Amino acid sequence: MANTWAFLATFYDYFVLIYFFVIDFTYLFLLVVALREILLYLRKNRFVNYQHILQSEFATPISILAPAYNEETNIIESIQSLMMLNYAKYEIVVINDGSKDGTLKKLIDFFQLKKLSYVYNVSIPTKPVHGIYRSPLPAYNRLVVIDKENGGKADALNAGINVAKYPLVCSIDADSLLEQDALLKVVKPFLENPRRMVATGGIVRIVNGCTVERGNVTDIRLSKKWIPTFQVVEYLRAFLSGRMGWTAMNGLLVISGAFGLFRKSALIEVGGYNTNTVGEDMELVVRLHKFMHREKRDYRIGFVPDPVCWTEAPESVRNLSRQRNRWHRGLIDTLRIHKDLFFNPKYGVVGMMSFPYFALFELIGPIIEATGIIFVTISFILGNVNFPFFAMFLVLAIVYGVFLSVGAVLLEEYSFHRYPRPLDLFRLLLFSVIENFGYRQMTAWWRVKAFYDYFRGVKSWGAMTRVGFEKKNEAKV
Amino acid sequence: MSVIAIYILVLIIATFVAIIVTLLVIRKIIASRSIKSNERLYDFFADRFSYVLALGEDIPLGAIRKSFLEMVRKSRGTGRYSRQRKREIARRVILNMSDEIIGENRERLSQIYDALGFADDAIKELKDKRWWRQADAIRELQTMHSTKAVGSIITLLSDKSEEVRLLAFEAVVEIDGVSSLPILVDLLRDLTRWTAINLSRIILEYKNEAAPYILSLVKHKDRSVELFAIQMLGIIRWVNAVPSLIEIAEKGMTQEVVEAIHALGSIGDERAIPVCVSKLASRNSEVRAAAASALGKFGAPSSVESLIPLLDDKAVDVRLSAAEAISRCGERGMSALETAFLNGTENVAAAARYILDEVDLVSISRSIVGNF
């Protein structure tokens, strides 16, 4: 019996080692592909003058959809920031999703909104709409506010799609800030490939620590707090390495809900956002892939590394754990809903590569990581594995983690160089190393716990306390 | 055994990456050290070229060339790399100066650029296999108005890279003027919106001069070019294009008809009103909406009667376009819209109310709509 246990333990140890090797190799592959793509993007960008889009009548107009639920802290700054975007023709559709705080009142008071009649074309069914508001002030004539019964973010976005009058819709979080040229940059793939392009996403960066003035990020620096800084490293790894790599193969499965541009007709064709999942952003992209493959259409879903959406990251462990729990529940749900894609050659790269990657590495990775560390360490203490094996495991589990994070930070420094202060770069590199000693394991644990919550039927988003962009500055001063 | 193999593999990859990172760092250090020396050379050449320009045509180009070669040969560092670096800095000085000066001096600078062999270097670069090198060369030759490069640049109009094609188009038009448009437009095909944005910008610089060439494209064999030409005529608002656009609106395919009607609306010539009115009865809703929208741009009170039936159209876009068009037809239109709101069916009233609200958010919503 003891021998059987020892055999199983050794088998699992080897399995974990091979698993880490494969996962590390995959990440390395994505990093290399991403580097190539970013270099190509930068080269192309040298010859692009975005002002041409700004002044052209050929630029495709965009409807920005900003769902808001209890966002009274940030909502005015966010909309003011959206009003200042550089783009030829766009409208801003704010959807108040039955907020319980003073979001709607704040909007009505500040923009002097008037309730109007509106021809509400129900392309996608949603919860009832109470009213549609517009501002009589010429400065805010791009703004449309929808007040509706609470139905969740996905339902709010669907209501926005119904009201949007332009062919491209840009979904953003109401608590995010877009850089002024973000729309110009994120729309370019649609202009270059108008027939094929279905969706594009921009990079999401963390605003904590930066200076925000009138809805604009004027001074970029790292937060002095640990938790947001760890997230900066994570975001760089996820966006610059992961998403850029998958874009090169047309296998991108996630466009962040904080900043994504979609062809409206495609969204209507697939029935809009799924209101029964907490991972509606990923679920939508997977469904778009599935639909396009089924219809045998030539299409592309891509990521643009340059247009920036600034978002407020959780600053407390409690809020961060809730966010990660929700993200992982969303991932579990999406992969469960579309399990028929798993190693299905009918769906090309998505079926054979990106979907299995998300299922085997992103989904169950935290479980293997958490149990692997415990198993291999105990096996080493008990003498079941020798030192070279244990050392190898540490190299694969820790050193490679360090390498990949440092790689992503260097990629950022080499390409976009958004953190000009040497001290910030040093801190980023330092955090790339130390995140592998505790932080990564902590997030893995939250993701393991998400399995328990998911199968228990938890559907909540979990509240997140927001400080507000401008208030952050006051606190800093 | 397998563990050792994996271990070795990991070490190889780690070493490889470490070497790359080290080389990048070394490169960065060397680059930062050479900045100061480059700045000194830049100032030196900038002084010399400014002096030469100040003297005007008193110094023959041959003498300038000779003197330049002497400077490159004699100053510190005589190796091949050093000579190349000096040439590169001198070239950069000329390019930067050309951005800042105009008139005769700019022409003279172009002659100097050519005499020193930089134009020939750039023309050679046009044959490079890397598209970004070709693009850089095109941009440089365009900046220096190098007429001898036009032939070589034209060959790049059918390059597989969109960036190269666009830059080549822009460069030829800028160097050779609007007269080169017939050759260029003939080579256009498979236009994306991005290409259209860039081409329209170039064409708009010449507007009416370019319009006849654009008109010749409305029957182009490539549909994307045809649509682009129709849209451009609307943007340029060239009145001479009206008969051709009317013909397309009457006989073209759906998309062409829609674009032609929009273009006619933008031009605003009254000859187009009958065709727009006739298209209000089209079976295609996009055409009906376009026709309504165009009539709105004309703002002719006489078209109100033709537009009113469309307030009850089955397509919501057509209803809204018709309502908006009516609102633009003066007092007669506004009065018709108010009547439609008060007496019309549900669809008619909704469309009318929507536009009435749009027209005057504050006063109309308070005085007519009230708290309905």
DSSP assignment of A388-449: HHHHHHHIIIIIHHHHHHHHHHHHHHHHT-----HHHHHHHHHHHHHIIIIIHHHHHHHHHH
Count of residues in chain B: 372
Residues of B in contact with A189 (CB under 8 A): none
Q: Are A53 and A59 in contact (CB under 8 A)?
A: yes
pLDDT of res. B372: 38
Judge whether residue A97 has pLDDT over 90.
yes
Give me the residue from A117, A188, A396 closest to B350, CB to CB.
A117
Q: Which residues pair with A116 in a beta bridge?
A: A132
Q: What is the residue range of A423's domain?
A: 2-31+355-476
Q: Please say if the pLDDT value at position A477 is more than 50.
A: no
Half-sphere exposure of A97 (CA within 13 A, CB side): 22
Please give the order of strands across the beta sheet that includes A168-172: A114-116, A129-134, A143-148, A90-97, A62-68, A168-172, A259-263, A197-206, A300-311, A176-178
B245-298 pLDDT tens trace: 999 999 888 999 999 999 999 999 989 999 999 999 999 999 999 999 999 998
How many domains, chain B? Answer: 1
Whether residues A379 and A242 share a domain: the answer is: no
Give the domain range for residue B171: 130-176
Is A45 contained in some domain? no
Residues of B in contact with A200 (CB under 8 A): none
Query: Would you state the pLDDT for residue A240?
Result: 87
pLDDT value at B350 more than 70 = yes
Domain assignment present for A103 = yes
Among A375, A371, A406, which Cα is nearest to A390's?
A: A375
pLDDT, tens digit, 9 for 90 and up, residues A114-164 = 888 766 678 899 999 998 998 888 788 899 999 999 999 999 999 999 999
* pLDDT confidence of residue A469: 61
Residues of A numbered 402-421 whose beta carbons fall under 8 angstroms of chain B's beta carbons: which are they? 403, 407, 410, 414
Q: Are residues A312 and A369 in the same domain?
A: no
| DSSP secondary structure letters along B276-325 | HHHHTT-SSHHHHHHHHHHHHHHT-GGGHHHHGGGGG-SSHHHHHHHHHH
Model confidence, pTM: 0.85
- Residue tagged 């994120």 (tokens): A186
CA distance B369 to A116: 9
CB contact under 8 A, B201 and A55: yes
Q: Which residue has the tokens 């030192």?
A: A387
Half-sphere exposure of B270 (CA within 13 A, CB side): 5
pLDDT for A13 equals 82
Give pLDDT tens digits for B214-225.
898 888 888 889
Residue A89: which residues within 8 A CB-CB, separation 6 or more?
A59, A61, A62, A166
Question: Does residue A466 form part of some domain?
Answer: yes
Instruction: Count Cβ–Cβ pairs < 8 Å, chain A vs chain B.
Output: 90
Residue B117 inside a domain? The answer is no
Confidence category of residue B361, pLDDT binned at 50, 70, 90: low
| Tokens, residue B52 | 């030469």
pLDDT at A156: 95
Note the pLDDT of residue B364.
42
| Mean pLDDT score, A269-291 | 94
**According to the model, what pLDDT value does residue A378 have?**
87
Q: Would you state the pLDDT for residue A297?
A: 94
> In whole angstroms, what is the distance from residue A445 CA to residue A325 CA?
10
Q: Report residue A266's pLDDT band, with 50, 70 and 90 as the boundaries.
A: very high
> Of A297-311, B136-150, B193-207, which range is least confident?
B193-207
Residue B7 and residue A191: Cβ atoms within 8 Å? no
ipTM: 0.80
Question: Which segment of A394-398, B17-21, B44-48 scores lowest on mean pLDDT?
Answer: B17-21
One domain for residues A112 and A185:
yes
Both tokens of B203, joined, read 């064409």
Cα B203-B206-B209 angle, rounded to 5 deg: 110
Query: What burial class does residue B17 get, using C-beta atoms within 10 Å of its C-beta: 0-12 exposed, 13-18 middle, 19+ buried?
Result: middle
Mean pLDDT of A31-59: 89
Q: Is residue A331 part of a domain?
A: no
User: What is the C-alpha to C-alpha distance for residues A316 and A319, in angstroms, rounded to an integer?
Assistant: 5
Q: What is the pLDDT of residue B71?
A: 72
Shared-domain flag, residues A307 and A166: yes
What gap in Å lies between CA B101 and CA A180, rounded to an integer? 32
The predicted pLDDT at position A461 comes to: 59
Quick check: B365 and A414 CB within 8 A? no
Is it the case that residue A95 has pLDDT exceeding 70?
A: yes
The answer to whether residues A97 and A23 belong to one domain is no
What pLDDT is attached to residue B10? 67
pLDDT exceeds cutoff 70 at A468:
no
Please, which pLDDT band fits residue B370 given cuts at 50, 70 and 90?
very low
Put simply, the chain A residues between 124 and 183 with a CB less than 8 A from any chain B CB are 134-136
Residues of B in contact with A53 (CB under 8 A): 197
Least confident window among A147-156, A248-257, B19-28, B227-236: B19-28
Assess if residue A346 is contained within a domain.
Answer: no
Summarised one tens digit per residue, pLDDT across range A336-381 is 999 999 999 999 999 999 999 999 999 998 888 888 888 888 888 8
Contact B200 A121 (CB under 8 A): no
Higher pLDDT, B169 or B62: B169
Q: How confident is the model at residue A474 (pLDDT cuts 50, 70, 90)?
A: very low
Q: How, if at all, do strands A300-311 and A197-206 pair?
A: parallel
Q: Tell me: do A71 and A146 sit in the same domain.
A: yes
Asked if residue B184 lies in contact with residue B172, where contact means CB atoms within 8 angstroms, the answer is yes
Structural domain contains residue B339 = no
In total, how many domains does chain A have?
2
Question: Of A302, A317, A332, which residue is a domain's last?
Answer: A317
What's the confidence (pLDDT) of residue A264? 95
Does residue B362 register a pLDDT over 50? no
Shortest CA distance to B150 belongs to which of B125, B126, B176, B111?
Answer: B176
Which two three-digit tokens encode residue A68? 């808001």
Average model confidence (pLDDT) across chain A: 88
Q: How many whole angstroms separate alpha carbon A155 and alpha carbon A163?
A: 13
Q: Do A28 and B13 touch (CB under 8 A)?
A: yes
**Residue A173 pLDDT greater than 60, yes or no:** yes
Q: Measured at the alpha carbon of residue B29, what is the angle toward residues B28 and B31, in degrees to the nearest 5?
A: 65
Q: Is the pLDDT of residue B1 over 60?
A: no
CATH number for position A95 = 3.90.550.10
**Single-letter amino acid code for the residue at B243:** P
**pLDDT higher than 70, residue A66:** yes
Closest CB to A194: pick one of B17, B163, B192.
B192
Residue B83 has pLDDT above 50, yes or no: yes
Give the per-residue pLDDT at A473.
Answer: 47
pLDDT at residue B16 greater than cutoff 80: no
Q: What is the mean pLDDT of residues B192-197?
A: 88
B43-55 exposure pattern, b = at least 16 Cβ within 10 A, e = fewer = ebbbebbeebbee
Reported confidence tier of residue A170, pLDDT bands at 50, 70, 90: very high
- DSSP secondary structure of A8-38: HHHHHHHHHHHHHHHHHHHHHHHHHHHHHHH
The shortest CB-CB distance from B353 to any of A55, A60, A117 is to: A117
Q: Above 50 in pLDDT, residue B203?
A: yes
- Angle, CA of A165, A167 and A168, to the nearest 5°: 105
Rounded Cα distance between A306 and A409, Å, is: 15
At B88 the pLDDT is: 86
Instruction: Based on the fold, state whether residues A281 and A370 are members of the same structural domain.
Output: no
pLDDT value of position B323? 92
Do the domain assignments include residue B151? yes
* pLDDT above 70: percentage of residues in chain B: 87
Whether A359 and A312 share a structural domain? no
Residue B201, exposed/middle/buried by CB under 10 A (0-12, 13-18, 19+)? middle
- Those residues of chain B whose CB sits closer than 8 Å to some CB in chain A are 3-4, 6-7, 10, 13-14, 17, 21, 24, 132, 135, 139, 162-163, 167, 192-194, 196-198, 200-201, 231, 235, 316, 319-320, 350-351, 353-354, 357, 361-362, 365, 369, 372
The nearest alpha carbon in chain B to A43 belongs to: B132
Task: Lowest mean pLDDT of A9-18, A238-247, A432-441, name the range.
Answer: A9-18
pLDDT of residue B141: 94
- Mean of the pLDDT values across residues A283-303? 95
- Torsion on CA atoms A236, A241, A244, A247, rounded to nearest 10: -130
pLDDT of residue B367: 45
Last residue of a domain, one of A317, A338, A368: A317
Say if A324 falls within a structural domain.
no
A24 and A165 belong to one structural domain:
no
Q: Does A58 touch chain B (CB under 8 A)?
A: yes
Examine residue A37 and state whether it is found in any structural domain, yes or no: no
pLDDT, average across residues A51-76: 89
User: What number is the average pLDDT over the span A71-81?
Assistant: 85
- Indicate if A68 and A217 belong to the same structural domain: yes
B6, pLDDT greater than 80: no
Average pLDDT of the segment spanning B301-313? 90
Any domain includes A340: no
Shared domain for A80 and A213, answered yes or no, is yes
